Chain A
Amino acid sequence: MDTQTLSFLFIGLSFALYIGIAVWARAGSTKDFYVAGGGVHPALNGMATAADWMSAASFISMAGIISFMGRDGAVYLMGWTGGYVLLALLLAPYLRKFGQFTVPDFIGERYYSKTARVVAVICLIFVSFTYVAGQMRGVGIVFSRFLEVDVTMGVLIGMGVVFVYAVLGGMKGITYTQVAQYCVLIFAFLVPAIFISILMTGNPVPQVGFGSTLSDGSGLYLLDKLDAVLVDLGFSPYTNGNKATIDVFAITLALMVGTAGLPHVIVRFFTVPKVSDARLSAGYALVFIAILYTTAPAVAAFARANFVETVHGTAYTEMPNWFRNWEDTDLIAWQDKNGDGIIQYHNGAALVGVKPQFSGGRGDHGERLVENGPSANPNEVYVDRDIMVLANPEIANLPGWVIALVAAGGVAAALSTAAGLLLVISAAVSHDLLRKTFMPGLSDRQELWYARGAAAVAVTIAGIAGIYPPDFVAAVVAFAFGLAAASFFPVILMGIFYKRMNKEGAIAGMVTGLVFTSSYIVYFKLIAPKLNSSAHWLFGISPEGIGTIGMLLNFAVALAVCRYTPAPPVAVQDLVDDIRIPSGAGIAHTH
């Protein structure tokens, strides 16, 4: 069977599995729909959390980005794992003890205010939609490249599958589907990594392999060789940092704190039976996540080394098929600047302009011609970072079934995250906006139908965003983390650890963090992208890292306002005492 048939087969089988699980685990009550009945085993919840967390970006894009960033890629590796420490130590157990359905629930009750609840819902919807549109685009990329179906068709199929198990099964269906999706995606990520590690270094463990010597007989360490080759081509060494230290610091912190504040991650810890399970479950989640996150930097180094070796100095007509396949999807372009028919790969942008504009014609060697003017440097290759993971098995000449597996893994990663996000959106609308704010008379059964309806609407909007990706989506991914860091994390943390924090402080803090962070990102990403360089940044911190400052502002404003406004009611202070204790109905008070 050829690779395409195998891809159809693998993706088809995995879809059948997901839908089967959804029918088996359909939701019967709002408690099932929002928190899977609150009875999920911590290890299974950890696995589901890992699938929920690891999106198309983690699976498809991250290793690619790292392979071009070198050591600085650690901002994503540490940023997207370190947040789980904050989550397990500072948030998850207490939110589990609180025991409601959504993040705005906690904020609304702890700060005894509908305003706080509605502000939280607005943040949540904004953060989640930004994130979900990217997932649908990931599904589209996989479908268009591996199944050669139209991107629109791919997104529609993906929407259909998510619709079935998110709308039908709610959190319960999603949880058990995500367990299956985790297995698919981690297997798909590890198999090619192990293969390539054996091929290049003889060591089957990628985490060790990329620190080992090459098996080509040179006796050189892989990373030393990679550094040397890149320096020859005019790049800086792979293992050196290039970004300013303060920016690396700020981005890592914003991503960590943002991770801990993302509603679709937090809500997963509402599904386990006990407080101690919430802590344990966060530990399991990080183990399952770390398996991928420690493999990704190995894949990144392997991919970069392979790519350079295969591409540089090879005649276009001699290139393996994958090069032309990816050229056909617009993600690779080659412009024969010196007319020798041989591909030269160097540091610097090959083309003038951000993306290649293909003219439709073919050059002397059969390459697709681009309309962009040649840039001044000798580099002839444009390559989109997103292809590195997907193309890696092909670049390393692995068998067709491995490539098909990677396609199924990419789809699993995208769908599991999309479903988790859609659920928190629907819960925020049906539970927080309708039942708790605007339509308090709803019965449990009615609320369940509104939740299903909201999930259906959210799937549709996400799908439309995937088919017609707004240009700004890629530019505002920083939003999701920045806003979560600047809005949710500080108010939840103070809600647990600072009993005196009142609604005036919390609302003022949230609004300040939100307004500051979003204006900074909008200014540099959308209004004045030309000024987006370290010379113009505040303290040299990029829009990706500005959530850190937003968070600090949130804390400062909240603490200041809280000092001059009345303390929260006794009932709320008792609530804080109660969530701090893992067992029992609460602590004794003398009233």
Chain B
Amino acid sequence: MTDTGGEGRHVSSDTNTSNLSASDVYHHQDAANAVAASGHEADVVDETIARAYWRANLKLLGKLLTVWFLVSYGAGILLANWLDQFHLFGFKLGFWFAQQGAIYTFVALIFIYVWQMKKIEHRLGIDDDDAPSAPVAPAQDQGEG
């Protein structure tokens, strides 16, 4: 959970010194969990890898968002009347896309994205899987309160 690192928090200190004490408190708090949460706090990612990763990500986003647009705004709205001449069992096709098909596609799109991003991240060696950040069950936290 501390794989977010501290960089983000330092930003406010640059422009707003009064935040220094506030950010520091979070660090102390996070530090307690840091040992368990992150195996590579000190890692830095090479800039060319970062660029390749971002390009691959944008390409994938473009493809998936095109499908997202086509099923909802295309089949469900703009082409719905035309598609209604076809039938899927008792549904007119345009009606089915608008009230059912688009939603099923949305679900599929997110899981394809999850799967493809894992693949890209694994290929470039920047996945966040190796961090042993086991979910904290609420029962274990009872002592803190």
* B contact face: mostly helix, strand, loop, or mixed: helix
The answer on a CB contact under 8 Å between A583 and B73 is no
Query: Which residue of B has the minimal Cβ distance to A74?
Result: B98
The answer on a CB contact under 8 Å between B127 and A286 is no
Asked if A334 lies at the interface with its beta carbon under 8 angstroms from chain B, I say: no
The answer on a CB contact under 8 Å between B92 and A239 is yes
CA distance A20 to B132 in the complex (A): 31
CA distance A584 to B16 in the complex (A): 26
Query: Which residue of B has the minimal Cβ distance to A570?
Result: B14
Given contacts A211-B91, A249-B73, A279-B114, contact A583 B11 (CB under 8 A): no
Asked if A312 lies at the interface with its beta carbon under 8 angstroms from chain B, I say: no
Given contacts A224-B90, A569-B14, contact A84 B110 (CB under 8 A): yes
Among candidates B42, B106, B126, residue contacting A81 with C-beta atoms closer than 8 Å: B106
Asked if A31 lies at the interface with its beta carbon under 8 angstroms from chain B, I say: yes
The answer on a CB contact under 8 Å between B110 and A282 is yes
Nearest CB of chain B from residue A464's CB, rounded to whole Å:
30
Q: What are the residues of chain B within 8 A of A77 when measuring CB–CB?
A: 98-99, 102-103
Q: What are the residues of chain B within 8 A of A261 when measuring CB–CB?
A: none
The answer on a CB contact under 8 Å between A88 and B113 is yes
The answer on a CB contact under 8 Å between B104 and A294 is yes
- Complex interface bits, B84-112 against A, C-beta within 8 A gives 1, otherwise 0: 10001111101110111011101101110
- Chain A CB count within 10 A is highest, among B45, B47, B113, B138, for B138
The answer on a CB contact under 8 Å between B91 and A85 is no
The answer on a CB contact under 8 Å between A578 and B110 is no
Q: What are the residues of chain A within 8 A of B44 when measuring CB–CB?
A: 584-588
The answer on a CB contact under 8 Å between A585 and B110 is no
How big is chain B's contact interface, by range?
A: 35 or more
Q: What are the residues of chain A within 8 A of B110 when measuring CB–CB?
A: 84-85, 88-89, 279, 282-283, 286
CA distance A579 to B94 in the complex (A): 40
Q: What are the residues of chain A within 8 A of B98 when measuring CB–CB?
A: 71, 74, 77-78
Asked if A436 lies at the interface with its beta carbon under 8 angstroms from chain B, I say: yes
Q: What are the residues of chain B within 8 A of A273 when measuring CB–CB?
A: 1, 37, 133-135
Among candidates A25, A97, A248, residue contacting B138 with C-beta atoms closer than 8 Å: A25
Asked if A561 lies at the interface with its beta carbon under 8 angstroms from chain B, I say: no
Nearest CB of chain A from residue B113's CB, rounded to whole Å:
6
The answer on a CB contact under 8 Å between B11 and A581 is no
Q: What are the residues of chain A within 8 A of B12 when measuring CB–CB?
A: 108-109, 112, 436
CA distance A74 to B102 in the complex (A): 10
Given contacts A24-B138, A172-B138, A212-B89, contact A286 B61 (CB under 8 A): no
Given contacts A276-B114, A586-B5, A586-B45, contact A26 B145 (CB under 8 A): yes
The answer on a CB contact under 8 Å between B4 and A584 is no
How big is chain A's contact interface, by range?
A: 35 or more
Asked if A366 lies at the interface with its beta carbon under 8 angstroms from chain B, I say: no
The answer on a CB contact under 8 Å between A176 and B103 is no
Query: Which residue of A has the minimal Cβ distance to B68?
Result: A85
The answer on a CB contact under 8 Å between A571 and B14 is yes
Query: Which residue of B has the minimal Cβ distance to A214?
Result: B90
- Complex interface bits, B1-29 against A, C-beta within 8 A gives 1, otherwise 0: 10111111111101110110110010001
- Chain A CB count within 10 A is highest, among B21, B53, B129, B135, for B135
The answer on a CB contact under 8 Å between A100 and B8 is yes
Given contacts A436-B22, A586-B44, contact A221 B78 (CB under 8 A): no
Asked if A274 lies at the interface with its beta carbon under 8 angstroms from chain B, I say: yes
Interface residues of A in 204-245 (CB under 8 A from B): 207-208, 210-213, 221-224, 239-241, 245
Q: What are the residues of chain A within 8 A of B113 when measuring CB–CB?
A: 88-89, 279, 283
The answer on a CB contact under 8 Å between A583 and B16 is no
- Complex interface bits, A486-526 against B, C-beta within 8 A gives 1, otherwise 0: 00000000000000000000000000000000000000000
* A contact face: mostly helix, strand, loop, or mixed: helix
Nearest CB of chain B from residue A199's CB, rounded to whole Å:
17
The answer on a CB contact under 8 Å between A294 and B19 is no
- Complex interface bits, A285-299 against B, C-beta within 8 A gives 1, otherwise 0: 011001001100100
Q: What are the residues of chain A within 8 A of B144 when measuring CB–CB?
A: 28-29, 32
Q: What are the residues of chain B within 8 A of A224 when measuring CB–CB?
A: 90
Given contacts A28-B144, A280-B114, contact A587 B29 (CB under 8 A): no
Given contacts A112-B11, A245-B77, A444-B25, contact A293 B40 (CB under 8 A): no
Asked if A82 lies at the interface with its beta carbon under 8 angstroms from chain B, I say: yes
Asked if A385 lies at the interface with its beta carbon under 8 angstroms from chain B, I say: no
The answer on a CB contact under 8 Å between A581 and B45 is yes
Interface residues of A in 380-438 (CB under 8 A from B): 435-436
Nearest CB of chain B from residue A60's CB, rounded to whole Å:
19
Asked if A477 lies at the interface with its beta carbon under 8 angstroms from chain B, I say: no
Query: Which residue of B has the minimal Cβ distance to A300?
Result: B99
The answer on a CB contact under 8 Å between A276 and B111 is no
CA distance A569 to B37 in the complex (A): 30
CA distance A252 to B71 in the complex (A): 13
The answer on a CB contact under 8 Å between A241 and B45 is no
Given contacts A276-B117, A276-B118, contact A90 B100 (CB under 8 A): no
Nearest CB of chain A from residue B124's CB, rounded to whole Å:
10
- Chain A CB count within 10 A is highest, among B21, B128, B131, for B128
Nearest CB of chain B from residue A280's CB, rounded to whole Å:
5
CA distance A153 to B80 in the complex (A): 47
Asked if A338 lies at the interface with its beta carbon under 8 angstroms from chain B, I say: no
Q: What are the residues of chain A within 8 A of B106 when measuring CB–CB?
A: 81-82, 84-85, 286, 290
29 pairs, CB–CB < 8 Å, chain A vs chain B: A29-B29, A29-B144, A37-B1, A81-B103, A85-B109, A89-B64, A89-B113, A96-B4, A108-B12, A109-B11, A112-B12, A114-B16, A208-B89, A211-B88, A239-B84, A245-B77, A249-B78, A256-B72, A274-B3, A274-B133, A440-B19, A443-B25, A569-B15, A578-B8, A581-B45, A583-B43, A583-B127, A583-B128, A585-B6
Which 10 residue pairs are nearest across A and B when measured between Cβ atoms?
A99-B4, A39-B136, A221-B90, A28-B144, A74-B98, A28-B145, A584-B43, A211-B90, A283-B110, A25-B138
On A, residues with C-beta under 8 Å from B are 24-32, 37-41, 66, 71, 73-74, 77-78, 81-82, 84-85, 88-90, 96-100, 108-109, 112-114, 172, 176, 207-208, 210-213, 221-224, 239-241, 245, 248-249, 252-253, 256, 273-276, 279-280, 282-283, 286-287, 290, 293-294, 297, 435-436, 440-444, 569, 571-572, 574-575, 577-589
Q: Assuming A84-B110, A211-B88, A583-B43, what are 11 further A-B pairs, CB within 8 angstroms?
A: A38-B136, A77-B98, A221-B90, A276-B118, A440-B21, A441-B21, A571-B10, A575-B7, A583-B126, A583-B128, A585-B6
